[in-house]
Amino acid sequence: MTTGELITLSEKNIMGTYKRFPVVLVKGSGARVWDSDGKEYLDFVAGIAVCSLGHSHPKVVEALKRQVEILTHVSNLYYIEPQIHFAGMLVEHSFADKVFFCNSGAEANEAAIKLARRYAYENMGGHKYELITMKDSFHGRTLATITATGQEKLQIGFAPLPEGFRYVPFNDVTALENAITDKTCGVLLEPIQGEGGIKIPDGDYLTKVRQICDDRGILLILDEVQVGMGRTGKLFAHEHYGIKPDIMTLAKAMGNGFPVGAMLATDRVAAAFIPGTHASTFGGNPLAMAASLATMDVLIHHGILDHCTKMGTYFLNKLEKLKRRYPVIREVRGKGLIIGMELTEDGGSIVRKCMDRGLLINCTGGYVLRFVPPLIITRPDVDAAVDILDEVMGSQ
Ligand SMILES: *Cc1c(COP(=O)(O)O)cnc(C)c1O
């Protein structure tokens, strides 16, 4: 089939939830992907912060091949060997004592919301169920997670939404303090807002949020679905800020492209989940666990985090230089390899022109270009991407 025929067939049979670029990506390797016409792209989207080790990383491919021949799926009615090993690795390298596995970021946040409510029900009395979340946040597309998401445009037409969510602006300590009532059981936020335009927390914001949660006896839940698993140069973004959450959610990069999610918590909080309170058929499935185990092993033992930090600094500096030359760039900000370039105008045409020249990037909230390349990118990759951006911005 030609590319045009594939696209027509896609539009015919697949629900129209996505506004797609008119390309079919058919192959990937490292930081590169190819479309159905054989055109090569440098991939600074990486499946939206998913393929952190690059496409088809040999260790992940090998782990999946090995596992698919041994055991593809059983149920959580039984103990699952790769699940046991991967949970052990997550617990060893995080604040958490216990893990619940699921299949996506939204599901991980659903699990976190349920755990927070159940913990409050068991320990604070049934009247505390409210979560405070942030404006411009993003937590997923299920009913509870669009409600947790502080963006009205994602909620329109889906009423009635579940009760029990209140919103405050990110980076506003006073608004948070004022929003807490005797119904509040926790605060849910992304340590760095991803979809909201790569918003970085002010110096001591997260420390203060932690302090407020401790003082008021409520839970701190961090959504690290986008920034966790090495994206910022540390395994988890909150490590930059010297705090620990009570609950944390992960997904995107965890399986380097194999769908998987997790919700982690301390023993104290996790104790509220007993048999029958929550479950997932596919959660912690052998294939997902094999992919995640291989991914995390490479992340930790192959110097990826340090490399990410170095490449992040190198990339950010080059973007700062571009900023001095193009007034359309309002600000460049980021941590490790999640970098946003805020523009004074809509970024759509820059994204399309970059794509024509073989660079994939995307735009969040209309005017923030988002760069989330694989963490294994090299200096020449960064140079090539910045050259293309330079050329595109010069021609605007
Ligand atoms: C992508 C994302 C989600 C949703 O993850 P899905 O796997 O698409 O359900 C939730 N929270 C954050 C911060 C995300 O970036």
Catalytic residue among 138, 165, 170, 273: 138
Measured from the Cβ of residue 29, the count of other Cβ atoms closer than 10 Å reads 14
Closest CA to 292 of 74, 104, 60, 109: 60
Catalytic residue among 43, 100, 170, 223: 223
33 touches 41 (CB < 8 A): yes
Q: How many residues does this entry show for the chain? A: 396
User: How far apart are the CA of 229 and the centre of ligand 1, in A?
Assistant: 13
C-alpha 100/C-alpha 235 separation (Å) is: 18
At 365 the pLDDT is: 83
Q: What does DSSP say about strands 261-265 and 98-102: parallel, antiparallel, or unpaired?
A: antiparallel
Q: Whose CA is closest to atom 15 on ligand 1?
A: 226
User: How far apart are the CA of 145 and the centre of ligand 1, in A?
Assistant: 9
User: How far apart are the CA of 322 and the centre of ligand 1, in A?
Assistant: 30
138 is a catalytic site residue:
yes
Q: How far is CA 315 from CA 202, 250, 318, 339, 391, in A?
A: 22, 25, 5, 9, 16
C-alpha 167/C-alpha 136 separation (Å) is: 9
Running DSSP on this structure, what letter comes out for residue 225?
T
User: How far apart are the CA of 326 and the centre of ligand 1, in A?
Assistant: 32
C-alpha 210/C-alpha 132 separation (Å) is: 13
pTM above 0.75, yes or no: yes
**How many CA within 13 A on the CB side of residue 22?**
7
- Cα 258–229–251 angle (5° rounding)? 45
Q: Whose CA is closest to atom 10 on ligand 1?
A: 139
**How many CA within 13 A on the CB side of residue 181?**
12
**Can you give the C-alpha Rg of the chain in angstroms?**
21
**How many CA within 13 A on the CB side of residue 211?**
10
C-alpha 211/C-alpha 374 separation (Å) is: 34
312 touches 335 (CB < 8 A): yes
User: How far apart are the CA of 226 and the centre of ligand 1, in A?
Assistant: 7
Which three-class secondary structure state does DSSP give residue 80?
A: coil
Measured from the Cβ of residue 124, the count of other Cβ atoms closer than 10 Å reads 17
Instruction: Give per-residue burial for 126-151: e unless 16+ CB within 10 Å, then b.
Output: eebbbbbbbbbbbbbebbbbbbbbbb
User: How far apart are the CA of 324 and the centre of ligand 1, in A?
Assistant: 33
Atom of ligand 1 nearest to the CA of 259: 7
Q: Which residue of 18, 50, 170, 226 sits with most ligand 1 atoms within 8 Å of its CB, as the best mutation to test the pocket?
A: 226
Q: How far is CA 385 from CA 41, 131, 293, 357, 373, in A?
A: 10, 40, 31, 10, 10
**Tens place of pLDDT for every residue, the chain, 396 residues?**
999 999 999 999 999 999 999 999 999 999 999 999 999 999 999 999 999 999 999 999 999 999 999 999 999 999 999 999 999 999 999 999 999 999 999 999 999 999 999 999 999 988 999 999 999 999 999 999 999 999 999 999 999 999 999 999 999 999 999 999 999 999 999 999 999 999 999 999 999 999 999 999 999 999 999 999 999 999 999 999 999 999 999 999 999 999 999 999 999 999 999 999 999 999 999 999 999 999 999 999 999 999 999 999 999 999 999 999 999 999 999 999 999 999 999 999 999 999 999 999 999 988 999 999 999 999 999 999 999 999 999 998
223 is a catalytic site residue:
yes
Q: Whose CA is closest to atom 11 on ligand 1?
A: 139
Cis peptide, bond prior to residue 160, ω within 30 of zero = yes
Atom of ligand 1 nearest to the CA of 141: 9
Residue 368 pairs with which residues in a beta bridge? Answer: 342, 364
Q: At how many degrees (to 10) do helices 286-301 and 81-92 cross? A: 30
29 touches 4 (CB < 8 A): no
Atom of ligand 1 nearest to the CA of 106: 9
Q: What are the start-end ranges of the E strands in 182-326?
A: 184-189, 219-223, 247-250, 261-265
User: How far apart are the CA of 327 and the centre of ligand 1, in A?
Assistant: 32
Residue ranges lining ligand 1, Cβ < 6 Å = 104-106, 109, 138-140, 190, 194-195, 223, 225-226, 251-252
Atom of ligand 1 nearest to the CA of 251: 7
Residue 165 pairs with which residues in a beta bridge? Answer: 131
C-alpha 111/C-alpha 236 separation (Å) is: 19
Atom of ligand 1 nearest to the CA of 226: 15
Q: Which residue of 133, 252, 368 sits with most ligand 1 atoms within 8 Å of its CB, as the best mutation to test the pocket?
A: 252
Q: How far is CA 58 from CA 31, 47, 82, 293, 381, in A?
A: 13, 18, 18, 13, 20
Q: What does DSSP say about strands 98-102 and 130-134: parallel, antiparallel, or unpaired?
A: unpaired
Catalytic residue among 98, 128, 199, 252: 252
Give the distance from CA 344 to its chain's centroid.
25
Instruction: Give per-residue burial for 39-58: e unless 16+ CB within 10 Å, then b.
Output: eebbbbbbbebbbbbbbebe
Which three-class secondary structure state does DSSP give residue 366?
A: coil
